[in-house]
Amino acid sequence: MSAPPVMVAMSGGVDSSVAAALLLAEGSEVVGVTLRLWGGESDSGCCAVSDVDDARRVCDALGIEHHVFNLGDDFDRHVVAPYVSAHAVGLTPNPCIECNRHVKFDRLLDRTRALGFERLATGHHARVAVRPDGTRRIARPADPAKDQSYVLHMLGQDQLSGLELPIGDLTKDEVRQRATSLGLRTAGKPDSQDVCFITREHGRGDFLSRRIPLTPGRVVDATGTEVGRVDAIELVTVGQRRGMELAGAAAPRYAIAVDMPTATVTVGNADDLLVDATPVGGFSWADGPVTGPVFAQVSAHGAAVEAQLVADSVRWSSPHRRVAPGQSVVFYEGEEVLGGAVAT
């Protein structure tokens, strides 16, 4: 009995190209789909017009169908607008996570199933681990340097039930070797970087300034003494060192708190960045809530460290750098993702 057909999300990059090729080699009926998400300028991510063309040409080379879904309204509503709103209130959003949450594994998954596909595949560097009781979790991939499990932490059993991650057992070098051996045009294409709707030329400040007013602010030390200024309080992130006009100091100083109502940034030294616990909310779980000991990771390429999850707080086993409000904290059990939350 042949495997049910699979829809492959084709970003125009090498990873999704090889994902489609691997499934095709297994004997699956494969159809490629590319999402058109952002209609504005893009030069650094996965939303450029050229990416759609690359995906189409890869599908042509593999001999499979290719379709384009326009989910731009969903992207604006669930990713771009919340990104702007978060900065306006002093949060540090992660738009790639919200794109996965609301667009790729919600709207795209719904459309995939409506078209009769039981399986959706992507080119993410992660694996789907099937546990003895039949539940599934996202797990770390073969290539630690390309680990994308952090940005997939929100996936629950419904999304995981038909998800395929074909390149999770390959390193990036092996992915490129497969693409080269197949003669795929994406074999040497650089990885996408940064937020896809923020251009390198204009940057985050320009993008936000065209959508919300940016407020100059003052910088104070722990005693409340003013030590500098910032051009826009909305652009300051907890933990930030650069971008603040500060009077000379013997040691580096970091933003340890941002107060939006008074347009004030408080700075301190490296030790002042350390806390014993991080408040969190907005939990999502792979297969049910967890409390007690976990390993917690606070950035896509950071290290997971020992912690205790108690109610709405992550209590660190040793003093830990502050997590910017709005950033995700992801919980692991060994190589597997338990779920995640958002720092508040």
**Residue 153, both tokens:** 């932490």
Residues with Cβ within 8 Å of 219's Cβ and at least 6 positions away in sequence, in order, are: 226, 227, 228, 229, 230, 244, 245, 246, 264, 265, 266, 267
- Residue listed under structure tokens 């900065």: 87
Q: Is 47 a catalytic residue?
A: no
CA atoms of 25 and 11, how far apart (whole Å):
20
Angle at 108 between CA 20 and CA 180, to 5 degrees: 20
210-213: long-range pairs with CB below 8 Å, 24+:
211/84, 212/84, 212/87, 212/88
At how many degrees (to 10) do helices 14-25 and 49-62 cross? 20
CA atoms of 326 and 147, how far apart (whole Å):
21
The one catalytic residue in 47, 59, 96, 99 is 99
Please list the residues that pair with 120 across neighbouring strands.
7, 163
Residues with Cβ within 8 Å of 78's Cβ and at least 6 positions away in sequence, in order, are: 98, 99, 101, 102, 103
CA 33 vs CA 39, 71, 99: distances in Å? 17, 12, 16
In sign, the C-alpha dihedral spanning 177, 180, 182, 185 is: positive
Rg (CA), the chain: 21
Helix/strand/coil for 58: helix
Residues with Cβ within 8 Å of 7's Cβ and at least 6 positions away in sequence, in order, are: 31, 32, 33, 112, 115, 117, 119, 120, 121
Using CA atoms in the order 304, 134, 105, 167, what is the torsion angle rounded to 10 degrees? 70
The one catalytic residue in 46, 47, 96, 196 is 196
CA atoms of 31 and 19, how far apart (whole Å):
12
The residues carrying an active-site annotation are: 99, 196
